[in-house]
Amino acid sequence: MRIPAHSVCTAIRDDIVSGALERGSRLTEDVLARRYGVSRVPVREALRTLEAEGFVVTRRHAGACVAEPTDREAADLLDVRRLLEPLGASRAAERRTDAHLKVLRGLVRLGQERAGNGTGDELRALGSWFHETLIQACASHGLIAMLTQVRHKTAWMYTVEPAQRPAEEWAERGAIVDAVARRDAERAGRLMAAHTERGIAAHRRKAARRPDPLRRSGTSKHPVNTGSVVP
């Protein structure tokens, strides 16, 4: 597979999130360069970025490896999501453009149509598109970056299953879009908080039922090089 050099970071991140690059596996520059059809330079830059984002760690005697998040880190991620997503919806209500609104309304219509007979993959894709569009409507580079990273990490740390009541889920999204259309930031944030809480509760129920957790409590057994971490 050959991809543009500037897309190497996205490609590696996507492969980590999907599990194609397994947790704890080594990330060798030469191997990754061949995998994506680029030189080692963009790979090295991508690994630095992904380490800053928390997807990659540097271990003594092993070099760059895919991170292995603990249960505590996964739980903290949901708390961060609980705080950020309502803020994102509020900002979207204040700053959205007509183009954002048109796409959001179209996605809600399509989601409601497919709620009864669409496949789980279709509904997940539509839901992701909806939230990505809402994030872009924030018109804040910093907030967009944080929300996008939280959504990537949620997909990585938690298996996202089809909604049990997709019609209700899309009705919630429709109400959020109505508030965004009216530029009612307070209502948009409140509705998103309820919508986010539903998703968080589903993730935590699934994690509690898992008999053999993929994520370990406490710290990693591998020594991690934190010398480059900025406090």
181 shares a domain with 145 = yes
The 3-state secondary structure of 21-54 reads CCCCCECCHHHHHHHHCCCHHHHHHHHHHHHHHC
As for how many domains the chain has, the answer is 2
122 shares a domain with 46 = no
The DSSP result for 49-111, as a single string, is: HHHHHTSEEEETTTEEEE----HHHHHHHHHHHHHHHHHHHHHHHHH--HHHHHHHHHHHHHH
53 shares a domain with 77 = no
Which pLDDT tens digit goes with each residue over 116-161? 887 878 888 999 999 999 999 999 999 999 999 999 999 898 876 6
Residue span of the structural domain in which 203 resides = 71-209
Least confident segment among 20-29, 132-141, 203-212, 216-225: 216-225
78 shares a domain with 53 = no
170 shares a domain with 80 = yes
Q: What is the pLDDT of residue 97?
A: 97
pTM of the model: 0.80
Which value, to the nearest 10 degrees, does the dihedral of the CA atoms of residues 207, 212, 215, 221 take? Answer: 160
Least confident segment among 34-38, 145-149, 192-196, 221-225: 221-225
Q: What is the pLDDT of residue 207?
A: 67
Least confident segment among 72-76, 77-81, 182-186, 223-227: 223-227
Q: What is the pLDDT of residue 217?
A: 36
What CATH number did the domain enclosing 169 receive?
Answer: 1.20.120.530
